[in-house]
Chains A and B, each alone.
Chain A
Amino acid sequence: MNKSELIEELENRSDLNLKVSETIVNLIVDNMKKALFDEDRIELRGFGSFHIEYYKAYTGRNPKTGELIQVSEKRLPFFKVGKDLKERINQNGSK
């Protein structure tokens, strides 16, 4: 499922039209990005949480060419799956 399909499904399940559904999904996604940029934790009960983690700079290698490369310091978002979603994923998981 991609973002357009999510927007269409939101339209199906609500009284909103497609345009408003799109505006709302974008509003939420944009604000989630803003929260992460500001290093504000996002906590969605039943779904999971996002937080930022820092990585130090290191010297790595291009695995194809073996060439040494400097990887600079970076920060990345991490997602921790919530209890409810974790359990729901695994109910159908053993097939």
Chain B
Amino acid sequence: MTKADMVDLVYEQIGLSKRESARIVESIFDIIKETLEQGENVKISGFGSFNLQHKKPRRGRNPQTGEEITISARRVLSFKASNVLREQLNP
């Protein structure tokens, strides 16, 4: 499944134009991206949640050269499937 499939779904089932359907699908994922970018988690009930995790800086090594490097503080995104989805996948 890709964005194009989602655009087709909106086009066929809602009756918007192809162009408008594409704009709407794009908007939905833009909103989620912007929210996460601002540091806020996103929870879609019945599906799952996108959670930001803050990683502290740490010492690491370049595995190829063995050189010591500092891995800077970063935010990483994790997804957790909701209990409803977990149960649906494992009946």
A-B interface pairs (CB < 8 A), number: 135
Known A-B contacts A31-B1, A92-B39; A81 and B77 likewise in contact (beta carbons under 8 Å): yes
Complex CA–CA separation, A2 to B43 (angstroms): 5
* Nearest opposing residue in chain A for B21, CB measure: A24
Whether B22 sits at the interface, judged by CB under 8 Å, is: no
Q: Kindly list chain B residues whose C-beta atoms are within 8 Å of the C-beta of A90.
A: 74-75
Q: Residues of A contacting B1 with CB < 8 Å?
A: 31-32, 35, 40-43
A76 with B89: CB separation less than 8 A: yes
Using known A-B contacts A16-B24, A77-B89, determine if residue A1 contacts B73 with beta carbons closer than 8 Å: no
What separation, in Å, do the CA atoms of A41 and B2 have in the docked complex? 9
* Nearest CB of chain B from residue A52's CB, rounded to whole Å: 7
Complex A-B: 22 CB contacts under 8 Å: A2-B44, A6-B42, A6-B44, A10-B27, A10-B31, A27-B13, A28-B6, A31-B6, A33-B85, A33-B88, A43-B2, A44-B2, A46-B29, A46-B33, A47-B32, A76-B81, A77-B85, A79-B50, A81-B76, A85-B36, A85-B37, A92-B37
